[in-house]
Structure 1
């Protein structure tokens, strides 16, 4: 264990938040891409799945941030300054993504004149009033951030795999149940 007293790998709750968020992001992206034509039952179902995924991502993200602030994170592995900068930048962008994207979705639906409805439990989230100009802005922002998410998630995944395969360090394994103590 490092001299800082912090664990060499992420805690089980941190791993849960990470992987549950990852699965929900995939579910949300798949749902929005297969939803079907406007007015169809398929579109209604997959929009509901997308909204549920986004809502759960936001809720988990709040818990994840609170956990990280309370529990901390493992000591950073020794890397070059540029790798450390890039890792911090990508992680910051990912944290922004998991908070901003669901909020943009809520704002988009609300400014379109509707409440975000969580199917099956009857919760209605209405933070903003109808506004066609704001709706178009939030729609475009949600779409743009969603498309950027593909690249950001891909970069994050490739970096984790590169650390595991090329650099042969514990970057990937410390976020899995197979973490090894260094």
Structure 2
């Protein structure tokens, strides 16, 4: 699908195995390390280490009822997100926008596309996600787009370096939901 902003054309497509390295680099740049500080979605003050690994991304691409959506402008990867079917709901995660392009509407467009796929192609009634509650600015962004906090929490996977190296001992996840 081709969409446009006021000054740019971009396309959405499903990720393939050949995209894994670019996806890992994008996700890492959006959340961890100094590059992530160029945007506003950084987790660099909360976590070190990796956000995703190649094997995990490849698994998401090939898993049934799972899709990694890429947003591109020409040959440039601007953003990605993972969605998965969960019965009558869908899960949204691994949402990453190139740090220097954050705040330009790219995230809005990709979130809308992910919701469209979940609603129109998978007949999902609800989109779910998990967010670290300490990330109030990010939660507020999602709330402005119709998501609400559920108060349902799950533990952070301390000790599993596939999810990063925590800098704090009070991390956990909260589920956000939006009716579709």
TM-score, with normalisation over the residues of structure 2? 0.22
From the two aligned structures, give the one with the greater strand fraction: 2
For the pair shown, the structure with the greater C-alpha radius of gyration is: 1
